[in-house]
Structure 1
Amino acid sequence: MTRKNSVTLALLFIAFSAFSQQQSAEIKLTAEKLHSRVREWPYPVNGITVPTNAPALLWPATNGKEMVKPMESGSEVPEDPNIGNVRYKIMLASDINFTKDLLTSSEQRWAVYPLHQALKSGKWYWKYAYALKGSNQWTWSTVYDFVVDAKYANQKVSPPITEVLKRNEGSHPLLWDMNRIGEDFYRNNLENPEAKKFIAFAEKLMLAPLPTEQPQRVIDTTGKNKLEKKIIIERMYHGFGDAVGNPVRNLCIAYQLTKDKRFILDAKRRALNIATMNPDGLATGDDFTSGAVLEALGWFYDAGYDFLTPEEKQAFKNIITIRARRVYNHLPNRFELHVSDNHVWQITLRNLAIATVAVINDVPEAKEWLTYMYEVWSARFPVLGTTDGGWHEGNGYFRVNFKSIIYLSQMFGDFSGVDYFKLPWMENLPYYMLYTHPNGAASTAIGDMWENIPYIVKGEAWFADALTYKMNNPYLNWYVDGIKRDYPAYYHGTDDFLFFRLLNYKPNRKLSSTSPENLPKTRKFGDVGVVAMHEDLANANKTLSSYLFSSPFGSSGHGHASQNAFTINFKGKVIFGGTGYYSNFSDKHNLLYYRTSKAYNTILADSLNQKIGEEGYGWIPRTISGKHIQYALGDASNAYGEIKSDFWLNRFKQINIVPSKENGYGDSDVTLYRRHMLQLDGGYIVLYDELEAKNPVKWTTQFHCPYYTIEGENSANAKQQNFIVKTDLGNVTASVFANSPLKMKVHNKFFEAAVNWNKVTNDEGQIKEFKDQWHAGITSELKQKFRYLTIIQIKDGRTEVIKTISNNKGLSQLQVGDWEIKAQLDGEKPVSLQVSNKTVQSLFSYGDLPISFQGKNYVPKIKSSSVLLEMDGSTVSKQEAIDELPDVAKYDKN
């Protein structure tokens, strides 16, 4: 039942051991995937040293016969009817015979077991078992082991569920600890200007008519197929749950702020109205709308409990139970295993948690619901990151998770006494926001719906501000201060994070603020595979920023097949970035272009994309942040090949499309793709690509401009291709070099046309116009081993002519401005890249070229490392980088 990954992760352990002993600068990953769509191997195993004193034990689930397969909310893949027929238990001990420090669990329906007690340092052994429901015949796994380091001895541990349930005993209102803090909440906000403004808003809210079950918008379905009609109908009712549920929540808050019964009685009137809505109807039947209604009913049942008759209480309990069961019954032995079942993590987990706490002492099964959610939260949050603060799917869809991140962190913190805002991931989150979406500037241009955030939008502004109520980070405060200065209209006092601010309101709050001008120019978010490089982080809206992507998650969920892609922003706008439009999660434009490698500034092999799914992964082995040179290395060697994910193959099947070579998919036999990216002072980006395949292929390096026009230029040298980008921001040129002839194609057509058949809107509610965008592809001859060198210039003034100083046996020496660039472009010869500038006294070197700097020769400590030498006053500053694995490859291996 513990089926192992087809390409075992044990090889990662060998690679990591070599790295940790510094025997080699380079690591080659051979695993088929680093994150599986559902868990396929147990954790922790193989004697790894876990980064905690209380790890969560995780294992692949079973239906009693085989491993549970991927299935998720909103998917057409049918749910396994047997996932609810299994029970699990675990044993943990400090000896292999399970006699010392023995811990045994009770039976449970789910395949995670977070340890809510600190373990002593040393080696630990564990195993798990399953049995069918009603059976006492247990099947045990093999024994696994891990090590706890003494340095984690004083780490705070979350309490067991028994304490959490006890915390929820008592009278209503239970939500947000109101039965304990309600009076303080009321008194603390009496003079809060934001509370007064909200109360005035609530007064007007009571005048609104009761809602009826009608679409939020009307969209013509004429000529659409069955699947498109289904999606359009869901789109017509999208947001209905929030529209009818939010007023109930807001009136409950107004009552708790004022003790004015008018508010709670109007909340009751509205709650009774939505309680009668059909849970299977179009208006409140899907997971989003039903979840919003469920949350609203929980809010009123808890806050307005004393205003209900016994019959009304029973009616509310009945409808809450019906809607809650519909969510919960599809979670155990499935949801906890999933890399990220988006709809649940984004919204319905929060909806269910609020409703569950509201009825925790009145509906017997609610205790099981809360136990499950607390255990999964303790074991898995944050699902699309680990410690670096990043979010795998990009910033466009990160926003959909904001409310749950804030409110579930508050709620589970209330229950457990754990400050979830002090998790390592949370403490790094402000830096992720600051580096990947600076105020006044565009974001990273990657992932679903990135095009909806060409600047800081309301949800991002509110989320960042909310974090300041729980974090003492002066850079975050600086970030929020700037947003409030530039977008004052965003802060109208009735947004989704208002209640969080009221809960944590401090009348005399004073926040220290520090500009990020002295932070490193480059920062790596290795767990999600993003590197941000900034000319001036404090003024990103006026200067040059660039990003390199290569994600260990692959292209799961709302992520894209964009390994080793880059984005370049200048004066706050995207010059080079992803292209296409989010019209639906998996329509033709999405599956054949928008989420594919064809839409990104990365490389195709024989015109074929990288794999869609967790198997098509990349990673960021190296970064260096310097004064004048910024550097990142991405590895997409595992990103290419046939699509293997059943989930994505099913999505193709749903729209009658085959992921064939004609449609851009297939095995191109790529074995190596390492992209070195440098951002140089003066407005230069340098790319150096190492490429290999099992057989000769045509390599195409791509450039996409979502907002500007590309124009090709004639080249006297077939081994060099040039183009310009016409912008209103300055001058942009690109030159691509190789050791053999190249061909360039410039055009403004998508591989699959973009049609807004679903009438999707931007963040302001306006229907998006899908315009043509410009693309350049530069293709090699058939080559098994190949190198590209790309020099991009982005300047206010004129760009420089790139001078060829020499070209000897594939080693090209070029001069652009004050920068000298040497690159070995013959794929059959050892890789070499060296970039230097005598004026700013900086030198970068990778490969076999001798290093001479300031009249002295330097030898790297480790062969094939990346070296940066710069003058720091009168001394030489030396940085040397070798490959470093992301956390998932360090710890979660089999």
Structure 2
Amino acid sequence: MFKRKGGLVARRFLALLMALGSALAMPAPALADKALADGASPNGALPDAADPYLLLRGVSTVQPIRDWLAPVKPTAVQPYPANGAVVKQTPPVFRWPYQDKILNWEFQLRLDAGRGLRHTVTNNWLFLDRTLPPGRHAWRLRGWPMGANATVWSEWRQFTVPRNAHAFVIPDFTDLFETAQNRDRPRHLPQGGAGKRLFAAIRSGERRRAFELFRHNVDREFLKRPMSAEPVQATFQVANNYEKQRLGLNIAKTVYRDAGAARAAAYVWIVTEEKRYLDAAMDRVRNLAAWDPKGSTGRRSQGSISREIALTLAIVLDLTYEQWSDGERALIETAITIRVRNLFNHYILADRLSLAEMPYNSHGFRHAGAIAAIASLLAGSIPDARHWFLTTFPVYLAMNNPWGGDDGGFANGLNYAGWNLMAQLRQGDILEHATGLALRHTARLREAGQYLRFFAPPGTPDNLFGDGHERDVKRLWRQLANAYARRLPRPYYRRYASDWGAATATPDNIFAALPRDAIMPDGGEAVPSPHAAHFPSIGWTAMHSDLTDPNRTSVYFLASPYGSLNHSHAAQNSFVIHSRGRRLAISSGYYDFFGSDHHKQWTQQSKSKNTITYDGGRGQPSHTKSAAGDTVGFAHGANLDFVVGDAARAYGNGVMTARRTLAFLRPNTILVYDQLRADQARRWEWNIHAVDEILDFGPNAMAIKNGPVSLCVEMLAAPAMEFSVNNQFPAPPDGQTDRYPAQWHGVFTTREKKTKAEFLALLSVDCATPPIGKVSASKDGGFSLAIEGKTYSINATGAVRH
């Protein structure tokens, strides 16, 4: 039964702050001015085809199909388009789980108009050679095993192509390779008229200032620094995991520094033709090419480092190709061949790690993009290049993006999203200029900028969810914002870049095609932006007081179908709150390194998140896609947003109900409602974490302060409970790899074990708690309450009305 629990927390907190000499601005929260139907989206049941965002979709109620084609392993390739999917690209790339006993697949497509297509393929994907018209279509297939009759047909999987789906037909891969092979050098930069305009802009036009700054940095940072010696010890020669990780970090710093210097000098030379830059680039390439490709910088020691060296050698060779003797060029090409062959055999051909079979491999996916890019640069020069390209590029495009869908989402953590997107844009530039295929126009890359706009708006102080969530990477977000404005110069991407400010002068932005040469086939008209968005493919939701205001309050929520796989954490139904560029309710713990004691015992665990645990910190399992959440409701209005997550599947272990509603009353008030039920009595725990001391105001209230910003939390209704707070970790982070300040952890715990529990919490940014009226429980679940004289109700499904 619900009981109102006090109401003095805001006054007590403000009094305390005044005693400490603090002053807080306390704007009254605006309230929603219209009702939103249960679980409905303002845009209706299906995406509005005229909406360029395709973000404000209602949460799909279409059930997945469970036939023989559905993968047994959650980490296998998922059938795509899934039943009920709305695609943003036409034709979509069809893909399905790999099955080693199937020799051929018979594919059938049924179009909305009644016509159909049939294809026979040997791979577990299909690229159509034509666009599909708008409408509701369906596909199915059957397999032909060796020496046996065909399987039964799979069920029909229906999908929708909206009217504004972007046309992206992938040409024949042999033609793409031959285009690259016949391309003049440097292949990875714009050529023809676009190239002439670019170099004119760099030498004497709009990009001259950025180039001169870049050149100055090269002179100061790179040319005066001596080249590094090859690291002596490989990571596989070290038994202790902590020492192995530290060694890997040191190797990475050495390689990224020297590889970056080689590329930078070559880019300055291609513009200025000054010999000192050419000499610097060639010397560093000779140095890197001489390092043992199976030693400290090889694939076995650290695959990403071997990839970095191979890609750097290929880029610099492309820029300086005619400056080398035949003998030296052959030595460099041999070094590249050995490194790429090791990556290709391990990540593309090997069954255990093949992207076609198990695509959820963050390293393998980046390796695949680099291999395709390198092959395009060395087409006609290295015999293996054709095999690499024709094998790798199709699977790279077919499985792109395994961490999300056409909405641009990236489920493997915001930190990794940034680095992966930067790599994809760089690799995409190479492949576009070498082959003519512009990957920036794939649905994934086109819409990933929207994901950045909502989850990394200007001033974002951390990475929200996943490994590295605590890191402040504003420089990276600024680089990506500017990269998107140059490559996809739509009004909202230009505004995003403008709000972040000018990026550091790097080749990524200096040598990108000029905006007038970055062709936008569908225009790019200005459209008012919403302040909230749900990304269905990854189950992430962002709700902002005002997306364009640097002093915004931002509320983020996660209920993801990717569970705690890879760099994700056991964080279903968790939230993060920022305000005025400050971290308030945080995802706690540090990413000192993957698999450290601190990482395993705290950072990846549910108890380190703002979510529910029970019986002393028990929560959702880590390292599994099966521990997934579901977003079952989302609505966005002028002054009220809400999202509903269901995490019962993630908890398992007898937890039958774990439903959470977050309602955001703009600009600064949040309601959190939890419904919990288990097959045995539990002591339920409501967790919240902060970077600074949590102030304890008794069993039902607490507050967080971070500089001039604060957050008050009051339990309006809950079982009898107690509150505890500490700033300890069960295992400390590795202090030798970085500095890790203490964090604070607050837990509301039920005093008695219960099979059922409901929590209703009021969170007020700047402790501007509005007047709260009577809280009434509903017989069937949910509650109603009055806030500033207006009645709000949350029903048993979690949907919010007022």
TM-score by length of 1: 0.72
Distance in 1 (alpha carbons) for counterparts of 2:96 and 2:706: 52
Secondary structure of 2:487's aligned partner:
coil
Q: Once superposed, what is the RMSD of the aligned Cα atoms?
A: 3.9
Alpha-carbon distance in 2 for matches of 1:627, 1:95? 40
Q: Distance in 2 between matches of 1:726 and 1:35?
A: 47
Q: Which amino acid aligns with 1:708?
A: D
Where does residue 167 of structure 1 map in the other structure? 179
2:380 matches 1:364: no
Query: Which letter maps to 1:60?
Result: P
Pick the aligned partner of 1:560 from 569, 577, 581. 569
The match for 1:575 among 584, 588, 606 is: 584
1:237 Cα shift? 1.0
Q: Pick from 311, 316, 319 the counterpart of residue 335 of structure 2.
A: 319
After superposition, the Cα gap between the structure-2 partners of 1:324 and 1:727, relative to the gap in structure 1 and judged at 3 Å, is: closer
Task: Specify the alignment match of 2:733 in structure 1.
Answer: 755
**AA of the residue aligned to 1:304:** T
Structure 1 residues 227-254: Cα deviation after superposition (integer angstroms, max 9, x where no partner): 3332222122123222222222223322
Which residue does the alignment assign to 1:345? 365
Which of 738, 745, 750 is the equivalent residue of 1:774? 745
Is the Cα–Cα contact under 8 Å of residues 611 and 686 in structure 2 kept in the other structure?
yes
Contact 1:123 1:146 in 2 (8 A): yes
Determine helix, strand or coil for the equivalent of 1:559. coil
Alignment of 1:133-532 (within 5 A): 141-144=151-154, 145-146=156-157, 155-170=167-182, 172-173=184-185, 175-176=187-188, 183=196, 185-191=198-204, 192-202=208-218, 205-206=222-223, 208-214=225-231, 226-260=240-274, 262-284=276-298, 285-330=301-346, 331-332=348-349, 333=351, 334-346=354-366, 348-414=367-433, 417-443=436-462, 445-453=464-472, 457-484=474-501, 491-493=503-505, 495=506, 497-501=508-512, 503-504=513-514, 519-532=529-542
Specify whether residues 178 and 47 from structure 1 end up closer, same or farther in structure 2 by C-alpha distance, changes over 3 A only: closer
Does the alignment pair 1:112 with 2:125? yes
Distance 1:49 1:475 in 2: 23
Distance 2:640 2:117 in 1: 53
Q: Secondary structure at the match of 1:344?
A: helix
Q: Is the 8 A contact 1:50 1:146 kept in 2?
A: no
Report what 1:786 is aligned to.
757
1:471: Cα distance to partner? 2.2
Q: Structure 2: 5+ residue runs without aligned partners?
A: 1-43, 47-57
What's the offset of the Cα at 1:787? Answer: 1.0
Contact 2:369–2:396 (Cα < 8 Å) also in 1: no
- One-letter amino acid of the counterpart of residue 655, structure 2: V
Q: CA deviation at 1:597?
A: 0.3
Change (3 A) 1:30 1:460: same
Q: Deviations over 1:583-636 (max 9, x none)?
A: 111122111211110101100133311122101111222222233332121111
Tell me if structure 1 keeps the 8 A contact 2:572–2:629.
yes
Q: CA deviation at 1:567?
A: 1.5
* Shift of residue 314, structure 1, vs aligned partner: 2.4
Cα distance change on mapping 1:700 and 1:210 into 2, 3 Å = closer
TM-fit CA distance, 1:211: 2.7
Bigger relative contact order, structure 1 or 2 (CA pairs below 8 A, ≥6 apart): 2
| Sequence identity (%) | 20
Contact 1:117 1:159 in 2 (8 A): no
Larger displacement relative to structure 2 (48-57 or 29-38) = 29-38
User: Following TM superposition, by how much is the alpha carbon of 1:206 offset from its aligned partner in structure 2, in angstroms?
Assistant: 4.5
AA paired with 1:637? A
Distance 1:704 1:202, change over 3 A: closer
TM-score (ref. length: structure 2): 0.80
Instruction: Answer yes or no: is 1:57 the counterpart of 2:94.
Output: yes
List runs of 5+ in structure 1 lacking aligned partners.
Answer: 1-18, 65-86, 132-136, 642-666, 716-720, 761-766, 800-816, 849-863, 870-894
- Counterparts of 1:840-879 in structure 2, within 5 Å, are 843-847=791-795, 866=799, 868-869=801-802
Tell me the CA shift for residue 123 of structure 1. 5.2
Deviations along 1:156-206, one digit per CA (max 9) or x if unpaired, are 322121221221132552532566565554344321322333345455645
Native 8 Å contact 1:118 1:157 kept in 2: yes
The answer (yes or no) to whether the contact 1:581–1:770 under 8 Å persists in 2 is: no
Do 1:35 and 1:614's aligned partners in 2 also have CA atoms closer than 8 Å?
A: no
Measured against aligned partners, the alpha-carbon deviations of 1:848-880 in whole angstroms (never above 9, x if no partner) come to: 8xxxxxxxxxxxxxxx583545xxxxxxxxxxx
Q: Per the alignment, in what secondary structure is the counterpart of residue 212 of structure 1?
A: coil
Aligned to 1:691: 676
Question: Which of residues 34, 39, 44 is equivalent to 2:76?
Answer: 39
The count of corresponding residues between Structure 1 and Structure 2 is 721
- 1:126 maps to 141
1:616/1:847 Cα in 2 relative to 1: closer, same or farther (>3 Å)?
same
Q: Deviations over 1:502-523 (max 9, x none)?
A: x3366999xx99999x643332
Whole-angstrom CA distance in 2 between matches of 1:614 and 1:504 = 41
**Separation in 2 of the partners of 1:781 and 1:277?**
63
| Counterparts in 2 of 1:128 and 1:199: CA distance versus 1, 3 Å | farther
Distance (Å, rounded) in 2 between the aligned partners of 1:115 and 1:865: 42
The 5 Å alignment of 1:587-626 reads 587-606=596-615, 607-612=617-622, 613-626=624-637
Q: Equivalent residue of 2:538, what SS?
A: coil
Q: Which amino acid aligns with 1:755?
A: P
SS, match of residue 483 in structure 2: helix
Tell me the amino acid that sits aligned with residue 566 of structure 1: F
> Equivalents in 2 of 1:368, 1:379: separation in Å?
17
Answer whether contact 2:460 2:474 (CA < 8 A) is retained.
no
Superposition deviation, residue 338 in structure 1: 3.0
* 2:409 alignment partner, SS class: coil
Question: What CA distance in whole angstroms lies between the structure 2 residues aligned with 1:389 and 1:821?
Answer: 42
Give the letter aligned to residue 165 of structure 1.
Answer: F
* 8 A contact 1:35–1:552 mirrored in 2: no
Call closer, same or farther: CA 1:773–1:786 in 2, change over 3 Å. Answer: closer
The residue number in structure 2 matching 1:824 is 777
Whether the aligned pair in 2 keeps the contact of 1:447 and 1:558 (CA below 8 Å) is yes
Aligned positions of 1:696-711 closer than 5 A: 696-705=681-690, 707-711=691-695
Preserved CA contact (<8 Å) 1:688 1:790:
yes
Q: 1:565 deviation in Å? A: 0.8
